Chains A and B, each alone.
Chain A
Amino acid sequence: DTAVSQTPKYLVTQMGNDKSIKCEQNLGHDTMYWYKQDSKKFLKIMFSYNNKELIINETVPNRFSPKSPDKAHLNLHINSLELGDSAVYFCASSPRGTRYEQYFGPGTRLTVT
């Protein structure tokens, strides 16, 4: 069974569209995250949710909106996509916060044309 799963794996879309990426973890963890990895392979935290509550909201454009319907799911919705949004987006989970081991999903490669 996959611990942290993301769908879709690849997403190609045009500028201006709205898209969503879904994430699910079956580890029973309390905390879930979205990370962005840019073209230079640099990782940056975007959001962190703990038990469905938003904890971290880094300086991310408000076109990005995370939604956590329950503690096993954290989805990322992106409005009005821009070329600069092209990146690999990783979902991750940990038992309780960033001081605990992180379990990463396989990543979603978003390409905006």
Chain B
Amino acid sequence: KNEVEQSPQNLTAQEGEFITINCSYSVGISALHWLQQHPGGGIVSLFMLSSGKKKHGRLIATINIQEKHSSLHITASHPRDSAVYICAAVPGFQKLVFGTGTRLLVSP
């Protein structure tokens, strides 16, 4: 079992829907990243969280350190949001453990 689990593995949505991707981890962490991997393969950092909530445009990320859980929300989803979303936990100095990824497909 991976130390960082994501759900769902695959997600399809209609344009405009509200989307939630979950990330749970079994180790103590100091921070957590959300990344987006485009269909072309490039990886972009979306958020780095150590507590609370962050918002950027239509994307919102939350983390509950005590419950070992983070969520990524996309409001008013759009086909260009179709990508793989990956969470990555920071369990120690200079360490990074990746989740298994969630493949999102948003249809027009």
A contact residues vs B (CB 8 Å cutoff): 31, 33, 41-45, 48, 50, 55-56, 88, 90, 92, 97-104, 106-107
How many chain B residues touch A (Cβ–Cβ < 8 Å)? 24
Instruction: Report Cα–Cα, A83/B93, bound state, in Å.
Output: 32
Is B94 within 8 A of A90, CB to CB?
no
The answer to whether B43 and A90 touch across the interface, beta carbons within 8 angstroms, is: yes
Q: How many pairs of residues, A versus B, come closer than 8 Å at their CB atoms?
A: 55
- Taken together as a complex, chains A and B put the C-alpha atoms of A101 and B45 apart, in Å, by 7
Q: Are B48 and A107 in contact (CB under 8 A)?
A: no
Is A104 in contact with B48, judged by CB distance below 8 angstroms? no
Q: How many angstroms from the CA of A90 to the CA of B86 in the assembled complex? A: 15
The answer on a CB contact under 8 Å between A99 and B48 is yes
Q: 1/0 per position for B65-108, CB-CB distance to A under 8 A? A: 00000000000000000001010101001111110110000000
Asked, given contacts A102-B33, A103-B45, A106-B41, whether A42 binds B96 with beta carbons under 8 Å apart, the answer is no
Could you tell me if A98 and B101 are in contact, using CB atoms closer than 8 angstroms? no
Whether, in the assembled complex, B30 has its beta carbon less than 8 Å from a beta carbon of chain A, the answer is yes
Shortest 4 CB-CB contacts between residues of A and residues of B? A104-B43, A43-B98, A98-B96, A55-B94
Q: Contact partner of A42 among B50, B90, B101, CB < 8 A? A: B101
Given A99-B48, A100-B48, A102-B35, verify A45-B95 contact (CB < 8 Å).
yes
With A and B bound together, what is the CA distance between A42 and B43 in angstroms? 13
CB of B100 within 8 A of CB of A99, answer no
Closest to B30 in A: A99
- State how many angstroms separate the Cβ of A90 from the closest Cβ of chain B: 6
